[in-house]
Structure 1
Amino acid sequence: MTHAAALVVALLLDAGMGGRALSWGRLPHPVVAMGNGVAWLDQRLNNGRRANGVAAVLILVAVAGTVGAVLGLVHPVVDIVVATVFLAQRSLVDHVRAVATGLQSGLAEGRDAVAMIVSRDTAQMARPAIARSAIESAAENLSDGVIAPAFWFLVAGLPGILIYKAVNTADSMIGYRTEKYESFGWAAARLDDLLNLIPARLTALMIAAVTGSLRAWPAIAHDARQHRSPNAGWPEAAMARALGVALAGPRSYDGEMRDLAWVNGAGRRETGAYDIRAAIGVLWQTWALATGLTLAIAVLAWLT
């Protein structure tokens, strides 16, 4: 079975059942295991030196790649199972939909729901800020949680998807510009940026394609380059244009307000639950395009 054929099955399983596709029992989810590994390396190697951070990432990549290579020798079904585990379309949709549902019930419920998917301060968020945060998370995590792992599985099979998820997990834990992680987390953050370079732009392109926004690509690219992240700005900019809303902009982290650039600043800023549900529609349209393209690759491989 080709990587493309296995990926099609995994995409369908994840979309249909998500985390319910497998029962872990007493075993930790693989991402939790990866997080434990990152924490172990952090505890033992983090002395504030960049070289130690590079060593930690090399260890993560070596272990993830080796585990992926060994699992890939077992049986094609294992490829499907592991790929399904590391895709997050259903989980993403469920979490984003919960924000729309909460927001329709009231501000407090909306704040509680959005706090589950963003790291910014949510206690004082107004309705538009809650909706924007959910939409931004939807766009960014479509890239990080669906398109990027699918892309690296398609390119390099189980070693590819495991290495991507290990690095992405490390970036989420130690890739911060703080005193503790400025140097140690540098390698994880930079490698994560590199691994997301193509998937982020591919995600933006697919969002633009399914929503008829390709003519706005120059504006999407312009807005993406103003974003604080070299990659997250691309799917966010495409989603903003698709929905006609403004995203990003000023927000608070740890009690400190940061004056960040707007994405599609001329777009509508009064957003709500309706816009979140529209974003969910875009998530499914983009997933369908990705699945269709993967199926086409699988058929072409079979024919040749």
Structure 2
Amino acid sequence: MDTAGILCLALLLDAAFGEPDWLWSRLPHPAVLMGRAVGWLDTNLNRGQYLLARGTLALALLITGAALTGWLIAQLGPWAEAIAAAILLAQKSLVQHVRAVADALRRSTAEGRTAVAMIVGRDTANMDDPAIARAAIESAAENLSDGVTAPAFWFLLFGLPGMAVYKAVNTADSMIGYRTPRHERFGKSAARLDDVLNLIPARLTSFLIALLHGLLPRWREIVAEARRHRSPNAGWPEAALARAIDTALSGPRAYHGRMQDFPWVHPDGNRHPGPQAIEAATRILWQVWAVLTASSAALALVG
């Protein structure tokens, strides 16, 4: 079985089984192990002088460990590689977490806030229903790229080692890639490399959404808004998804008690989305997954 065939199998396995509680309640998830490794490196290397160099060294050690682990698992055969890849993909779990916000929001605003707090980093205590829905949809767009398209893309190019390296860098960025006094310099290499690794997948995700929903004639608008976004990559799938479901995204929101006036994405769209808009977004997640799966199957057949 070639790399494309293994990827197709991994995408199917992830869609079928997701992240079963019976397994990960007994064993640490690979993402948890990566997080522990990043935490250990942060604790032991993020001190003293030359923090940028120390952070780069920490990232190099993390990448080496991830690549080696991926290579060793791949030596066990295609099924082992496919199962490991399925574990590192996040399609089904992403859909479940996003859809849980819609279900909670139907019950009450308070439950919606609790559910969306599980998947976003912004302040949720004072969110109204539209803000909750927007946050869930934005998380769906960004994590479709980070959790599905990007891992699949790097697996297709470099097999399980490539996917493992991507996930390790992405984990490091989520933990130390912030402009805080502690991590401004130490986490800079992780943040920059994560931006580079997501450069193509974010744009690919945006293109697939636009293609599936007849938005290619409006591609220039998507590009313009993506370039205005605070993130070099997250704005691409967000701008396409906003138009696909005709919903205004982004806009003002609070972080750590401070309101920030971010520009709207697709400002002419519906500014009062609810559970139905969230569910429309989850359907698009499955549509993009279907294209990725069919494409990998086609590549496997050609190969």
Give TM-score, length-normalised by structure 1: 0.97
**Corresponding residue for 2:110?**
108
Which letter maps to 2:180? T
The answer to whether the 8 A contact 2:253-2:259 is kept is yes
Deviation, structure 1 residue 26: 3.6
Which letter maps to 2:152? A
Q: Which of the numbers 267, 275, 278 marks the counterpart of 2:280?
A: 278
State, as a whole percentage, how many aligned pairs show the same letter. 57
What does the per-residue CA deviation read over 1:229-253, in whole Å, with 9 as the maximum and x for residues that have no partner? Answer: 0000000000011111111111000
| Cα distance between partner residues in 2 of 1:128 and 1:232 | 20
Distance 1:216 1:22, change over 3 A: farther
Which letter maps to 2:154? W
What does the per-residue CA deviation read over 1:190-211, in whole Å, with 9 as the maximum and x for residues that have no partner? Answer: 0000000000000000111112
Extract unaligned runs of 5+ from structure 1: none
**Corresponding residue for 1:261?**
263
| Cα distance between partner residues in 1 of 2:62 and 2:228 | 31
User: SS at the partner of 2:142?
Assistant: helix
The CA RMSD measured in Å over matched residues stands at 1.2
**Corresponding residue for 2:18?**
18
**Corresponding residue for 2:32?**
32
**Corresponding residue for 2:136?**
134
The answer to whether the 8 A contact 2:13-2:83 is kept is no
Structure 1 window deviating more from structure 2 (89-98 vs 262-271): it is: 262-271
Q: Which of the numbers 180, 186, 189 marks the counterpart of 1:187?
A: 189
Q: Which of the numbers 238, 241, 254 marks the counterpart of 1:239?
A: 241
Q: After TM superposition, which residue ranges in structure 1, 4 or more long, deviate above 2 angstroms?
A: 20-27
The answer to whether the 8 A contact 2:239-2:266 is kept is yes
Deviation, structure 1 residue 167: 0.3
Q: How does 1:69-88 map to 2 (within 5 A)?
A: 69-88=71-90
| Cα distance between partner residues in 2 of 1:280 and 1:27 | 28
Deviation, structure 1 residue 259: 0.9
| Cα distance between partner residues in 1 of 2:248 and 2:34 | 35
Which letter maps to 2:184? E
Deviation, structure 1 residue 25: 6.0
| Cα distance between partner residues in 2 of 1:62 and 1:13 | 27
| Cα distance between partner residues in 2 of 1:121 and 1:25 | 28
**Corresponding residue for 1:198?**
200
Aligned length: 301
Q: Which of the numbers 154, 157, 167 marks the counterpart of 2:156?
A: 154
The answer to whether the 8 A contact 2:136-2:278 is kept is yes
Extract unaligned runs of 5+ from structure 2: none
**Corresponding residue for 1:212?**
214
User: SS at the partner of 2:178?
Assistant: coil
Distance 1:285 1:21, change over 3 A: farther
Deviation, structure 1 residue 76: 1.1
Give TM-score, length-normalised by structure 2: 0.97
User: SS at the partner of 2:23?
Assistant: coil
Structure 1 window deviating more from structure 2 (227-236 vs 42-51): it is: 42-51
User: SS at the partner of 1:19?
Assistant: coil
Which letter maps to 1:101? D
